[in-house]
């Protein structure tokens, strides 16, 4: 083996190692947040009735933090309505947590024909979402929990409808 070839092999081996490590970092660097505190919550719905999040254990649970003052949140809500209609019977439950007051939420839910619970979280819900991975404390923020109550997906910003559907279908 010539020294030149040996050097090339060493560079190649080092690069292959770095490539493997790089992909590893890219894929495994996110530890999913713990949803225990979320599932232990009880929040009022728009009509004032307390709702325990634990009632939806065993379902694929989509938790969407939103507000009536947040245009991107309002834009994506028809996708959640469609998903609830289409997959509700197969074990999907969408739940909205509004960073807002009950009056505004009730009016908006009525206008939009919301077919899933809209819980009232107030501004305290922003801190709750921060603990669930919403480090920027912005909206919309969405989590998808699998049937075991583990966080399978978190996303800040609008969820792309086709990607959202793929994730749900895999988890159902």
Whether the CB-CB separation of 64 and 97 falls below 8 Å is answered with yes
x/- contact string, 140-159, with another protein (CB under 8 A)? x---------------xxx-
Pairing of strands 141-145, 60-66: antiparallel
Looking at the Cβ atoms of 90 and 123, the one nearer to another protein is: 123
Query: By CB under 8 A, what part of segment 63-122 binds another protein?
Result: 67, 69-75, 99, 122
Shortest distance in whole angstroms from residue 101 CB to another protein? 10
Residue 13 half-sphere exposure toward CB, CA atoms < 13 A: 6
R_g of the chain computed on alpha carbons: 21
Alpha-carbon span 80 to 60, nearest angstrom: 13
| Number of Cβ within a 10 Å radius of residue 71 | 10
- 78, 85, 123, 169: residue in contact with another protein (rule CB under 8 A): 123
Asked if residue 169 binds another protein (CB under 8 A), the reply is no
> Which DSSP symbol is given to 59?
S
- 119, 126, 151, 171: residue in contact with another protein (rule CB under 8 A): 126
Binding residues for another protein (CB under 8 A): 8-9, 11-12, 15-16, 18-19, 21-23, 25-26, 29, 67, 69-75, 99, 122-123, 126, 136-140, 156-158
């Amino acid at each position: 083996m010539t020294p030149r070839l040996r050097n090339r092999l060493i560079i190649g081996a080092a690069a292959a190692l770095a490539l493997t490590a790089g992909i590893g970092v890219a894929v495994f660097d996110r530890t999913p947040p713990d949803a225990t505190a979320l599932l232990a919550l009880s929040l009022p719905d728009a009509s004032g009735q307390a709702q325990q999040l634990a009632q939806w254990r065993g379902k694929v649970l989509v938790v969407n933090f939103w507000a009536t003052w947040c245009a991107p949140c309002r834009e994506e809500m028809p996708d959640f309505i469609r998903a609830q209609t289409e997959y509700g019977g197969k074990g999907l439950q969408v739940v909205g947590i509004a960073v807002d007051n009950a009056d505004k939420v009730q009016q908006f839910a009525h206008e939009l024909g919301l077919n899933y619970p809209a819980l009232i979280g107030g501004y305290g819900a922003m801190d709750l979402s921060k603990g669930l991975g919403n480090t920027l404390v912005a909206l919309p923020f969405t989590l998808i929990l699998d049937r075991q109550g583990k966080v399978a997906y978190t996303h800040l910003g609008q969820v792309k409808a086709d990607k959202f559907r793929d994730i749900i279908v895999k988890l159902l």
